[in-house]
Amino acid sequence: MNQFVSLNGFQNAHGVCARACAVSVNIVLLEMMTRHLFRLLSKTDKLRYHRIASSSARSCLYMITSCLSTKSPQEKNILLMGPPGAGKTSVGRILSYRLRKPVIDIDDDVLEKTWGMTVAEKLAQVGGKRFVDEEGQAVCNFSASGCVISLSGSNPLHSDAMRHLKRSGIALYLDVDTEDIVERLCRMKVNRIVGQGAGISMREILEYRKQFYEKWLDARVFCGKGDTIEEVVEKVVRVLDKYQDSESETYISTRSQRSASDGDKKFFTDVVVEGLAPNGGLYIPNKGFPKLEPSEWIRLADMSYPERASVILEKCIHPLDITPSELRSMVNRAYGQNFVSKSVAPVKHLAEDQYVLELFHGPTASFKDLALQLMPQLFAHCLPLMCNYLILVATSGDTGSAVLSGFSNLRESNRQRIGVLVFFPERGVSVIQKLQMTGFKGATQGLSASSRTLTSARGPSKGCLVTQGWLATLQWSTPLFLARLTPSTGLGFFRRWSTTPLHT
């Protein structure tokens, strides 16, 4: 299956997108069968297909059998995960009352009963490294369903234990402010936790632990600075409701007067590829864009740009569309090493209440790098696995080099199925812009210089959409609106807090 996408980067920075399908008879029959099935499947089932489907009919038949099975699975546990002092035990007790589910505390109800001694006594007896192993073995022998389970702070350090727990549970990471945790641990008179060696401060070990919590989370509960236990519980309930009610996380057209029917529901992965709605409107979240509380704004102020972007994008994108770990990997790939400034988009103070936001630190020194370093990764993730795409770009400025740079950073497998062809006016771009575009080399990248103006540069890309003989394979054309808008939200939040005094 081949698809063509045209990106017009001069005035609207979006462009035109078109799909061309050239598939074998076997694939066509397979798609016809699955297309009718998809209308009956939930979003979760569609995700399962996306992960297991391949070019073989056997995979498709396995998907059909598994999705239509009438066997009811056991009720999932709710796993509360986070460092010591995050409030897992207290939150678990209140949440269990709210949800009318049994509550299990791994420390009190599993480890201490298994060992016949307190966790502190076991740690003193065997030491930190062996403690994690023995804790993991005890957890692997534990099973439950339909419960609220407060994990220990060190459970995520043991991979086998976490894989065992996640088979029957949804892992929610209580992402609590480090200073709040340190203050609570001081009140609890806890001065050392598992894995904290000599000379390592509490803040350092808490920072080190974050990678393990983020590795295993299904959804993040982002807590504001100074949030009470009751406020954290409310956030847990909201995050859990959103995670479990994935069918309602849909997108509607700005020109629609009503919500889409079940058969026409559009999710994030759908609208990234489709761009415009069939009625010509832009896709926006049916429930509106997420909002941040003042205490959450304060926490964001101390984060790096990639950390901030991950938190904000997780609020915008449902984890069944793109998992938090996949999203975090994309963000780090886009902003980790590609920008000259560690701040990515630093805000400089000029005088009094005047500030300037610098957007030229990206690989092509264009403000469009902020979106186009991440957009290709979102786009590649959402594309059907059996499709090849050619992206057509018409530009009279810096869009061409920004697009080429962004797509050149994709993994090899994605670069092989996504090509980029840039059209630009020979005399309508600066020498630097031309050298930036012509300097990119790749088997799936190309350039074409037209005579004088942007209009002439747009001609070939528009011609692809009207050439007789291609019309039978072109199904739609759209700008990549949401794929460009979503990365830009991180910049918008960044600009807001960077120029606003925290006390306001």
Q: What tokens appear for 353 in the block?
A: 């209440």
- What is the 3 state secondary structure string of 17-79? EECECCCCHHHHHHHHHHHHHHCCCCHHHHHHHHHHCCCCHHHHHHHHHHHCCCCCCCCCEEE
In CATH terms, the fold of domain 77-223 is Rossmann fold (3.40.50)
Residue 187 CA to chain centroid, in angstroms? Answer: 36
Find tokens 């099973």 and name the residue. Answer: 143
For 335, the token pair is: 């902003």
Give the DSSP H or E segment for 316: helix 305-316
Eight-state DSSP code of residue 188? T
Instruction: Collapse the DSSP code of 313 into the 3-class scheme (helix H, G, I; strand E, B; otherwise coil) and give the result.
Output: helix
Helical spans, DSSP H, in 149-282: 159-166, 178-187, 202-216, 229-244, 268-274
What tokens were used for 440? Answer: 């990119």
| Of 489, 455, 486, nearest in space to 8 by CA | 455
| 303: number of Cβ within 10 Å | 15
C-alpha to C-alpha distance for 47 and 3, rounded to whole angstroms: 22
Q: What is the pLDDT of residue 486?
A: 62
Would you say 494 and 308 are in contact if contact means Cβ atoms under 8 Å apart? yes
pLDDT of amino acid 456: 52
- pLDDT for position 146: 95
C-alpha 405/C-alpha 402 separation (Å) is 5
Q: What is the pTM of this model?
A: 0.77
Q: Which two tokens stand for residue 254?
A: 């700005």
Query: Residue 74: its pLDDT value, please?
Result: 75
Q: Which two tokens stand for residue 92?
A: 């678990």
Token duo for residue 80: 């509360």
Per-residue tokens: 301 = 């102020």
For the CA atoms of 98, 104, 106, 111, what is the dihedral angle to 10 degrees? 160
C-alpha 331/C-alpha 376 separation (Å) is 11
The model's pLDDT over 399-424, given as tens digits with 9 standing for 90+, comes to: 888 888 899 888 888 888 888 888 88
Largest CA distance in the chain: 83
CA atoms within 13 A on the CB side of 204: 8
Pairing mode of beta strands 16-18, 2-8: antiparallel
Q: What averages of pLDDT result for each successive group of 10 residues across the chain (504 residues)?
A: 43 33 37 44 48 38 43 80 95 96 96 93 88 95 95 95 96 96 89 78 92 96 95 97 90 80 80 83 89 93 92 93 94 91 92 92 92 92 83 81 89 86 82 82 58 52 51 44 58 53 40
| C-alpha pair distances (Å), 434 with each of 396, 411, 428 | 10, 25, 9
Please tell me whether residue 360 adopts helix, strand or coil conformation: coil
Distance CA 405, CA 51 (A): 28
| Element counts in the chain: helices (H) and strands (E) | 22, 14
Neighbours of 136 (CB within 10 A): 18
Instruction: Tell me the C-alpha distance between 148 and 255, whole Å.
Output: 42
53 is written with which tokens?
């489907």
Dist. CA 193–CA 181, nearest whole Å: 12
pLDDT at 31: 45
CB 104 within 8 A of CB 93: no
* pLDDT for position 26: 42
Contact 438, 447 (CB under 8 A): yes
Q: Are strands 347-351 and 354-357 parallel, antiparallel or unpaired?
A: antiparallel
pLDDT at 28: 38
Alpha-carbon dihedral of residues 54, 412, 433, 431, nearest 10 degrees?
A: -130
pLDDT for residue 418: 86
